[in-house]
Amino acid sequence: MSVSRVGLIGAGAIGRAHLVGAAGAQGVEIVGVADPNPAARALAEEFSVPWFADHQEMFDKTSPDGAIIATPNALHVPMSLELIAAGKAVLVEKPITDTVEEGLRLAQAASDADVPLLVGHHRRHNPIIRTARSMVQEGKLGRLVSATVLATFFKHDAYFNEAWRRTKAAGPILINLIHEIDLLRFVCGEIESVQAVASNAIREFDVEDTAAVVLRLKNGAVATITLSDTAASPFSWDTSSGENASFPKTSVESHFLCGTEGSLALPTLRLWSYEGERSWLRPIQEGAVESQAANPYIEQMRHFGAVIRREEEPLVSGFDATKTLRVTSSIRQAAQSGTAVHFD
C-alpha cells in the first residue's frame, strides 16, 4: 500500500486527536505540524514529527500530498482555498466554515479544481453510527417514527475564562449541536424543518446555555434534541460512547431511534422488538446488535489517505457538510423568531 503524506495545520486539542489517529492508521503519515504556538512544538516533538511555525515553510520543506486544517473556523476557507489552488487534498475540521455562503464557495472551488475535500465530521466514521445507519436504511426498525437525542453535560467554570465563549460567537448550539445535526442527517435522513427554544437563565451570559429543538424529517419522522452545557448529567454522546479519552466514559445511552418494527438505543446498540404481535399489552424483547469497535479518528485518517490516493470518495463532502451547517445555523434563528425554519 502506498502512503499518503499529510501536513497538520493547527495543533490544539483536535490537532492532537488527528496525530493520534494518524499514528494508528494505515496508508497515511503526518510529515509536519505547522502552528506558531510553543505548545505546538512540544506536541510535534511528542509525536516525533517536524515542527514549523508557518504552514508555507512546512509545505516547502516536506511537499505533502494533502493537509489537515485544524485552525480556528475563520481560517478554514482561506487556508483551504490556498491548498486547493496548489492541488493539495484537504481535510478541514467541522464546521466547514462560519457561514453557509462560504461553505458553498469552498465546496464549489474544490469541485471546480477536482481536488479532494473531506470535512471532519468524525462521528460518521464510528462503526456504531454506521451500523445504526444501515439498520435504518435497510428497514430493520420498520418505518422510522422518531429520534430522541440527549446532549446534556457540564462545562466547568474555567472553560469560560476565555471571554469569547460567553458571547454569541460560542454557545452549545454552534459548538456542540452541529455533531447531533450531522448524526441525525447521516443516520435518519434529511431534515425538512426545525423549531427551537433557548435559554440563558442559568449562567446569564449573552449566549444560550440550554436549548430544545424539534425537527421534522423529510421521511415523516420527527426528532427532538435536548441540549445543555450546564447540566450535571452523563447523557451525551461524548461521555457515553468512549470515543474521546478526554471524557470519562459512562455506561448510559444518549440516542434513541424508534420505528414501527423496533427501537434502537445508542451507543449500546440495544434493540427492542416484539416477537409476534406488536402491542403495548405484550412483552417487548431486548436484544443486541453486534458492531466492531474502532476509533473514529483512526478510521477518518485511513479514509483521508485513501481519498488522497483517489481510492475512495469523501464520506463528508463540502456540499454535504454545508447542509449540516445550514440546519445548525438556523436553530438559533428559529429560537429567536419563535417560528419554524423550513429547508428545500
- Mean pLDDT across the stretch 126-134? 97
- Mean pLDDT across the stretch 201-208? 95
pLDDT level of residue 194 (50, 70, 90 thresholds) = very high
Sort 292 into a burial class: Cβ within 10 Å, 0-12 / 13-18 / 19+.
exposed
Residue 239: closest CA among 228, 227, 254, 224? 254
Query: Are 191 and 303 members of one domain?
Result: no
pLDDT for the residue 310: 97
pLDDT for the residue 12: 86
- Mean pLDDT across the stretch 261-266? 98
Query: Does 198 score more than 80 pLDDT?
Result: yes
pLDDT level of residue 130 (50, 70, 90 thresholds) = very high
pLDDT for the residue 323: 97
The verdict on residue 318 lying in a domain is: no
pLDDT for the residue 242: 87
- Mean pLDDT across the stretch 66-95? 95
The verdict on residue 319 lying in a domain is: no
Query: Are 78 and 205 members of one domain?
Result: no
Query: Does 123 score more than 80 pLDDT?
Result: yes
Query: Are 111 and 90 members of one domain?
Result: yes
- Mean pLDDT across the stretch 210-232? 98
Over residues 307-339, the pLDDT tens digits come to 999 999 999 999 999 999 999 999 999 999 999
Greatest Cα-to-Cα distance within the chain, rounded to the nearest angstrom = 70
The number of beta carbons lying within 10 Å of the beta carbon of residue 139 is 12
Query: Are 144 and 287 members of one domain?
Result: yes
Over residues 143-163, the pLDDT tens digits come to 999 999 999 999 999 999 988
pLDDT for the residue 315: 97
Q: What is the DSSP letter of 162?
A: S
Q: Which amino acid is residue 256, in one-letter code?
A: F
Query: Are 100 and 80 members of one domain?
Result: yes
Query: Does 222 score more than 90 pLDDT?
Result: yes
- Mean pLDDT across the stretch 266-287? 96
**Separation CA 307–CA 317 (nearest Å):** 11
Query: Are 204 and 230 members of one domain?
Result: yes
- Mean pLDDT across the stretch 195-218? 97
SS3 content of the chain, % helix, strand, coil (to 5): 40, 25, 35
pLDDT for the residue 211: 98
pLDDT for the residue 73: 87
pLDDT level of residue 293 (50, 70, 90 thresholds) = confident
Query: Are 255 and 307 members of one domain?
Result: no
What is the gyration radius of the CA atoms in the chain, in angstroms? 21
pLDDT level of residue 13 (50, 70, 90 thresholds) = confident
Over residues 29-71, the pLDDT tens digits come to 999 999 999 999 999 999 999 999 999 999 999 999 999 999 9
Identify the helix (H) or strand (E) that includes residue 127.
helix 127-137
Query: Are 109 and 164 members of one domain?
Result: no
pTM of the model: 0.94
Query: Are 246 and 274 members of one domain?
Result: yes
**Separation CA 5–CA 150 (nearest Å):** 38
- Mean pLDDT across the stretch 63-82? 94
Cβ–Cβ < 8 Å for 269, 279: no
- Tell me the CATH number at 205: 3.30.360.10
Query: Are 77 and 150 members of one domain?
Result: no
Q: How many CA atoms are closer than 13 Å to the CA of 299, on its beta-carbon side?
A: 17
- Starting from the edge strand earliest in sequence, which strands make up the sheet with 210-217, in order? 285-288, 270-273, 263-266, 255-259, 144-152, 222-228, 210-217, 191-199, 341-342
Query: Does 102 score more than 90 pLDDT?
Result: yes
The verdict on residue 321 lying in a domain is: no
Query: Are 26 and 89 members of one domain?
Result: yes
The b-or-e profile of 146-176 (16+ CB within 10 A means b, else e) is ebbbbbbbebeeeeeeeeebbeeebbbbbeb
Query: Does 1 score more than 80 pLDDT?
Result: no
pLDDT for the residue 162: 83
pLDDT for the residue 262: 98
pLDDT level of residue 174 (50, 70, 90 thresholds) = confident
Query: Are 99 and 171 members of one domain?
Result: no
Among 121-125, 154-158, 164-168, where is mean pLDDT lowest?
164-168
The verdict on residue 90 lying in a domain is: yes
| Number of structural domains in the chain | 2
The number of beta carbons lying within 10 Å of the beta carbon of residue 312 is 15
The verdict on residue 334 lying in a domain is: yes
The verdict on residue 258 lying in a domain is: yes
- Tell me the CATH number at 53: 3.40.50.720
pLDDT level of residue 169 (50, 70, 90 thresholds) = confident
Whole domain around residue 185: which residue ranges?
Answer: 127-293+326-342
pLDDT level of residue 344 (50, 70, 90 thresholds) = confident
Q: Which CA distances in Å does 283 have to 35, 109, 143, 262?
A: 58, 55, 21, 13
pLDDT level of residue 179 (50, 70, 90 thresholds) = very high
The verdict on residue 320 lying in a domain is: no
